[in-house]
């Protein structure tokens, strides 16, 4: 009985792992394709010569004066570190909270020592990880 349950859990973990790896690989391929398209578009833009109009030159000069008057506020905003458009400290905080919750669940399940509960927790954690990976790495 224990061996069969262990094999079922092992199969579930392998299935979840392969699903996550497949998702990561597909997102890497789509990201690579987007980068290739962006490089191609930039290359096309560089081949074209664009001369700005007088109004665009005036707007640009006016924008520089506003930035200088703001005291470099625009340059301070550019230096903040972001991942996927979200400040990086949110990832650290959410990662720590997730690690705390997962470790608490593992200790609780180990303390209760119910094999069915092991399977339920493994399935729900696998589902959550797959869901998060597909949403974060969405092309």
Q: Is residue 23 part of a domain?
A: no
DSSP assignments along 115-131, one per residue: HHHHHHHHHHHHHHHHH
And the tokens for 55? 């109004």
Q: Is residue 101 part of a domain?
A: yes
Q: Domain residues for 71?
A: 32-79
- Residue 86's pLDDT is what? 66
> Tens of pLDDT along 11-63?
888 888 888 888 888 888 999 999 999 998 888 877 777 777 888 888 887 87
How many structural domains does the chain have? 2
């Amino acid at each position: 009985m224990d061996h069969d349950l262990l094999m079922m859990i092992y199969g579930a973990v392998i299935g979840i792992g392969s699903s996550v790896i497949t998702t990561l690989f597909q997102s890497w391929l789509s990201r690579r394709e987007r980068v290739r398209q962006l490089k191609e578009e930039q290359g096309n833009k560089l081949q074209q010569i664009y001369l700005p109009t007088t109004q665009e030159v005036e707007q640009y000069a006016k924008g520089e004066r506003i930035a200088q008057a703001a005291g470099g506020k625009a340059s301070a905003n550019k230096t903040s570190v972001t991942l996927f458009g979200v400040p990086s400290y949110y990832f650290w905080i959410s990662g720590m909270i997730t690690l705390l919750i997962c470790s608490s669940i593992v200790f609780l399940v180990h303390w209760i020592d119910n094999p069915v509960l092991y399977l339920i927790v493994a399935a729900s954690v696998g589902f959550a990880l797959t869901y998060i990976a597909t949403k974060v790495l969405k092309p």
